[in-house]
Structure formats: C-alpha cells, structure tokens
Amino acid sequence: MNATSKINTTTASAIEASSMTNATPLVRFEGVRKSFGELEVLKGIDLEVKTGEVVALIGRSGSGKSTALRCVNGLERINAGKLTVCGRDLHNGNVDLRELRQDVGIVFQSYNLFPHLTVEQNVTLAPRKVHKIGAAEARTLAGEVLAQVGLSDKAQNYPEQLSGGQQQRVAIARSLAMRPKLILFDEVTSALDPELTGEVLRVIEKLASEGMTMMLVTHEMAFARSVADQVVFMHHGKIWETGTGDMLANPQTPELRQFVGNGL
C-alpha cells in the first residue's frame, strides 16, 4: 500500500480552498419530504453537511437513508421542503443536474463500472467528455486517482478481471477523477464478501483523512463510529437520533438501542 499512503496534494488543496470560501454548509436539508406514490419515505428531514465532514447515515432498510442520499445528486426529486447542495437549490425545477453532478460524485452498491472499457477508460471517460481534457492529461489524471485507491497496476485491465473489492475501488477512483466537492457512498460494501470489505473501507477512511466531504449509507457500524464526524440514525423516514460516533455506544432511543444491538 505504498502508493496509497502518499497524500494527494491536489485534492487536499482543492478542499482547503473551497472550505475557506464556503462558510455555508455544502449540503443542507430543511424539512425535506419525498414520496413514492402513496408511500412517504422522507417525512421532514433536517440535516447539514459541512465541508470536510464525513456523515454516516444508518438505519434499517426502508428507513429512507438511501433515498435521502440519492436526493443529494438529484437521482430522486424531493416533493417538499428545501434541499441546497453546493449552493444550488434542488427544489427549484430548473437546476442543471449535469452541473450539480460535476460537484457531487456517487459510488453505488453494484459498482456500475462500464464493462466494455478498461479501468483507465472508465476513470477518464467523464473528465474527457465533460471537462474536455486531452489524452495526455487524462492519462496523468488516471494515474493519480488510481494511485489514491491503490490500483495503479490495474489501469489496463477490464472490470471483469478484477475482484469485487477492486472494482469498487475503481468506482471510487472514477468518482474522484471528476474532482468533486462531495462524494456519496450508497452501501458500497453491501455486495462484497467480508474479506473484500476491508480494502474498500480503508480507501474511504484515507479519503476522509485527506479532508474529502462524504455522505455514506452504511451497515458497517464499527466503521461509521470510527470514521464519521456525524452519525445520523434514520427510522421511518425521520432522523431519529444524531450525534458523533460515540452515540452508537450509548443510544438515547429504544429504536437505536435495538438497531445497534442487532447490528453488533
């Protein structure tokens, strides 16, 4: 893990710069509501994510945590309340999702790598098409972000040649290559065997230590406790309890107590 231990100066300085100019939170939920047909999955969410902060969303399946996350980059549209992300009001119908998504990356549970492209092409597709960078610059960029996730030697491989854990790390690198202000992680280790989970979590942990702003939906309680600045427990579409990682050690509500009891 030699390559990964080097701190990436570009990312770090970019984040420093944005945190100096941005005193307001990167993400702000104010009474956000979201329904799928008759079913209301978010029943008034209030939450703030500051620059450089790591926020872990936990809760049972169906508690609304994934929906809340997907609202942040516009994969789901909110029905009521106010959601501001990187200075954009998402309730406003004419927000440019493509612009928003250049600032907000997402990593999925099922990786969703492009199977017909090599690792390097996967990572550089969006920077080349969206940011219009040249071939040489793209190659350098791929080298940088793949080093960040410890996969420098896999640039010319195809996704199906990699293990699940490696594929997920490529997906993280693909997100990093867009130089986002914020990355969303949607249960990124849920599809992985336990022995592959660790390598992905270590990459996320390193990004956290480098100051990347992140929101993650996770079932890994120990990880949430050690890495997250803010842990949010969701229950029945509401934020039931919120606090630092230590909240998990002494839950205030019976619901969180039961959840943690089952989880550990």
Q: What does the binding site for another protein look like in residue numbers (CB under 8 A)?
A: 73, 75, 97-99, 101-102, 105-106, 108, 110, 112-118, 125-126, 129-130, 158, 160-161, 174, 178
Query: In terms of CB distance, is 149 or 239 closer to another protein?
Result: 149
H or E, element range at 224: helix 221-227
Q: Using CA atoms in the order 170, 4, 155, 164, what is the torsion angle rounded to 10 degrees? A: -40
Q: How many CB atoms lie within 10 A of CB 5?
A: 8
Cβ nearer to another protein, comparing 70 with 202: 70
- Whichever of 200 and 221 has its CB closer to another protein, that residue is 200
User: For another protein, which is the closer residue by CB, 85 or 248?
Assistant: 85
Q: How far is the CB of 101 from another protein (least distance, A)?
A: 4
Burial class (CB in 10 A: 0-12, 13-18, 19+), 238: middle
Q: Which of 158, 74, 156 is CA-nearest to residue 111? A: 158
d(CA 82, CA 122): 34
Query: Which is nearer to another protein, 6 or 129 (by Cβ)?
Result: 129
Q: Which one, 43 or 70, has the nearer CB to another protein?
A: 70
Residues 6 or more apart in contact with residue 98 via CB below 8 angstroms: 130
Please tell me the distance from the alpha carbon of residue 190 to that of residue 186, in angstroms, as a whole number.
Answer: 9
For the bound state, the minimum distance from the C-beta of residue 163 to another protein, rounded and expressed in Å, comes to 15
Minimal distance, residue 261 CB to another protein, in Å: 33
**Least distance from C-beta 66 to another protein, angstroms?**
13
Question: DSSP letter at 263?
Answer: H
Q: What are the φ and ψ backbone dihedral angles of 226, each rounded to 5 degrees?
A: -85, -30
Considering only CA atoms, which of 27, 32, 30, 29 is closest in space to residue 78? 32
Least Å distance, CB 264 to another protein, is 31
Shortest distance in whole angstroms from residue 104 CB to another protein: 8
